[in-house]
Homo-oligomer: A and B are copies of this chain.
Amino acid sequence: MRIDVINPNTTASMTAAIGHAAQAVAAPGTRIVATQPSFGAPSIEGHHDEVWGAAGVTEQVRLGQAAGADAFVIACFGDPGLAAARELASGPVIGIAEAAFHCASMLATGFSVVTTLTRTCVIAEHLVVQYGFERTCRGIHGTDIAVLELEDPASDAYGRILASARDALARDRSGAIVLGCAGMADLCRRLQQALGVPVVDGVVAAVKLAESLVSLGLGTSKAGDYARPLPKTYVGLAAPHGPVAN
């Protein structure tokens, strides 16, 4: 089974780290292909970055679909381009926010999200409502750590995230933590040990969900809202990205 894990930003070191985390949890027969768009933003930290990240996701899903990917993971906590990716793909497409919310809701009656910039909290809030977790998600907490700081050992990202998570558990009366950025994947185990509650990273959660669905013979529904995009001639810089007939 081949799962394409798409980092919607253009920072290669982050793509590599995400791919590494994904491969570490993959089943023996699963090949992880970690990719990033050929264009876009070095990090996704707001609605504008997200729009271009979503466009980049469609590029990679189109290419992955042609190359025979069995499933896709969108490795950015806002799940940019998720619905469009589902139109393009035959197999399942899983966003990491979605994956983390679903898993956390099966481990505790309430969870808290610890994320990067406070300005991105509203993106998670909208997903929480859209996905139906408004009663299970008890709080979303910005740490004001920039996405790319996560890769910088000097940033003390771990300490700041740990403190924020501790505070969230107490204030929100939560039983689990969801990590609100793909770049936090490698802190997950360490945080779980320190906090004594389940800490859910969306990247690895999404990989396992994608594997699960594929192994059950389940793909994206092609009847209705996620039917393949109508073939169209796109123009300008979007010209290579126009949907073609199957």
**A39 touching B224, Cβ below 8 Å:** no
Q: Name the CB-closest residue of B to A108.
A: B221
A12 vs chain B, min Cβ distance (A)? 11
Which of the residues B50, B119, B211 comes within 8 Å of A225, measured between beta carbons? B119
**In the assembled complex, which residues on chain B have CB atoms less than 8 Å from the CB atom of A133?**
132
**A94 touching B106, Cβ below 8 Å:** yes
Q: Does A98 contact B (CB under 8 A)?
A: yes
Q: Size band of the A side of the interface?
A: 35 or more
**A212 touching B223, Cβ below 8 Å:** no
Interface centre among A43, A106, A126 (most CB of B within 10 A): A106
Q: Does A7 contact B (CB under 8 A)?
A: no
Question: Which residues from chain A sit less than 8 Å from chain B, CB to CB?
Answer: 10, 25, 27-28, 37-43, 45-52, 54-58, 81, 83-84, 86-88, 92-94, 98, 102-103, 105-110, 118-119, 121-122, 126, 129-136, 169, 173-176, 189, 192, 196-198, 200, 204-205, 208-209, 211-213, 215-227, 229-230, 232-239, 241-243
